[in-house]
Amino acid sequence: MLILSFNHKKELTEILVNKKLLFLFLILSINHCSFSKNSSFWNPVNIEKDDNKKELFKEVEITNFEINNDLEITIESSKFSIDSFHNNLTNNNGRIDYEGKLKKAEKYSFRKIAKFDEYEPEIIFDKQNIIFFSNKGNILKFDNKSKLIWKKNYYTKEEKKLNPILFFAKSKNTLIVADSVAKLYALDIKTGELLWSKNNSSAFNSEIKIYKDRFFIVDYENILRSFHIKNGLQIWKVQTDNTIFKSQKKLSIIIKDKKVIFNNSIGDITAVNIDSGNLQWFVPTLKNTNSSTAYLLKMSNLVSHKDSVYFSTNMNEFYSLDINNGIINWVQNINSNLKPTIIDNIIFSISNEGSLNILNTINGSIIRRTDLFSKFKIKKKKKIKPTGFVVGKNKIYVSLNNGRILIADVATGKTISLLKITKNYISRPFVSNENLFVIKNNGIIKIQ
């Protein structure tokens, strides 16, 4: 149907000189238009959606209002996590034995890492030393005074041009390295010397978990692989549904009760037997995998506590699954791709909009929700995103994408102070030896 609009009679006269042509035009137009009450000709506002059309970029409705913001939370447990940043099989950092003064900072410097904010690299702590990487695939080991102990690079000239992103895991004196250019290798932690090296069919983008004499990792083809630490030989592999849409966020793995549980790029949660790789259970969480929704999906790290697995997504869903059979215990409306923390029967989760949510582990009910960004101006608030957090003895330390660390009170959920670290993006906080660490694109900041 064609509809012409004319503002002036003069224009109409110039275009349709012959009145008969005008009459014929109107007749033809009416004959080709429906008289249904849903017709756009008669009701231009009420247009029904075509059921065959799918909305690819549907905006998620975010619930972010405060709940019980005057309620004080008391943590009954007196247990503190001391070394939860070393090969943590459950990914739950818990309540960390940390209450820093945050007055003195020291930097471990290296060359700038390209696209640093698109990945989630982690620091390896080796007693008082730390291991990280820089651009071109350089692996660096520093002592506690930020002095370089050794520097190694096992990449060809062509591989260096790809600026590989490295992922680490430590087993006693062995450092396992996987990367974004499909290499997998192991180093002697004391000397940095190469123990073995191999190439994979696809790049890696997941956590590495070590269990006894083997390690586990997921590649970009959504394949979970089990390898021997000693020689890098593959023990078994598990293929899950693959897609052209690759995850924008590092995939996660947890190990508990002889199960390896992991997520893939389309939101599937899969549990397999740790010895054989045989499927134990499988739970899809993404409702529409045929669109770009899979590409937009960002999931938090998986976290296990007691008999449940917890995680959240940027699709406004926070899940609790039964670790034994994968049955969904509950789903709550929280928009977050940050790793939650569980202490006793309380879940700490911070949304992408800056709300601190305290949930009950049993039924997922929100005990309290407070706005950590309440003191920010609206324009500034929209640009700020949390990148991760840790729960200390009495305070919560939240890193932000503008280079700040926000400090909030555990009991009240209120923001206490804001500490400027840098002008640019920083990683989630890490805690080791009573120091807090954050990573930026050209260095690691240690704060005492």
64 domain residue, yes or no: no
Contact 251, 217 (CB under 8 A): no
Number of domains in the chain: 2
pLDDT tens for residues 62-92? Answer: 667 899 999 999 887 668 887 888 889 999 9
439 domain residue, yes or no: no
The two three-digit tokens of residue 368, written as one number: 């309290």
Q: Are residues 27 and 160 in the same domain?
A: no
The overall pTM is greater than 0.75: yes
CATH code (residue 309): 2.130.10.10
Q: Examine the fold and report which residue of 347, 370, 393 is the final residue of a domain before the chain moves on.
A: 370
79 domain residue, yes or no: no
Q: Are residues 126 and 271 in the same domain?
A: yes
**Residue 294 or residue 78, greater confidence:** 294
Q: Which of 136-140, 245-249, 375-379 has the highest mean pLDDT?
A: 136-140
The pLDDT, as a whole number, for residue 104 is 85
Q: Is the pLDDT of residue 17 over 50?
A: no
Q: Are residues 362 and 254 in the same domain?
A: yes
183 domain residue, yes or no: yes
Q: Are residues 121 and 43 in the same domain?
A: no
Kindly report the CA angle at 400 between 73 and 220, in degrees rounded to 5?
Answer: 105
230 domain residue, yes or no: yes
Q: Are residues 7 and 129 in the same domain?
A: no
Q: Is 295 exposed, middle or buried (0-12, 13-18, 19+ CB in 10 A)?
A: middle
Q: Is the pLDDT of residue 128 over 80?
A: yes
Q: Is the pLDDT of residue 25 over 80?
A: no
437 domain residue, yes or no: no
First to last CA, the chain: 71
CA pair distance 30, 2, nearest whole angstrom: 10
Contact 124, 131 (CB under 8 A): yes
Q: Are residues 159 and 305 in the same domain?
A: yes
Q: What are 390's strand-pairing partners?
A: 397
**Residue 131 or residue 114, greater confidence:** 131
Q: With the CA atoms of 263, 269, 274 and 275 taken in that order, what torsion angle do they form, in degrees rounded to the nearest 10?
A: -110
Q: Are residues 13 and 155 in the same domain?
A: no
Residue 30: give the domain boundaries.
Answer: 1-48
Cα 1 from chain centre:
48
Q: Are residues 37 and 166 in the same domain?
A: no
Give the side-chain half-sphere CA count within 13 A for 280.
22
303 domain residue, yes or no: yes
Q: Are residues 41 and 140 in the same domain?
A: no
85 domain residue, yes or no: no
Q: Are residues 37 and 128 in the same domain?
A: no
Q: Examine the fold and report which residue of 370, 394, 411 is the final residue of a domain before the chain moves on.
A: 370
Q: Are residues 44 and 129 in the same domain?
A: no
Q: Are residues 27 and 166 in the same domain?
A: no
Q: Is the pLDDT of residue 119 over 90?
A: no
The pLDDT, as a whole number, for residue 61 is 64
Q: Examine the fold and report which residue of 370, 389, 411 is the final residue of a domain before the chain moves on.
A: 370
Contact 242, 235 (CB under 8 A): no
Q: Which whole number is the average pLDDT over 277-299? A: 84
Q: Which whole number is the average pLDDT over 301-310? A: 97
The pLDDT, as a whole number, for residue 379 is 86
CA pair distance 371, 373, nearest whole angstrom: 5
Q: Is the pLDDT of residue 343 over 90?
A: yes
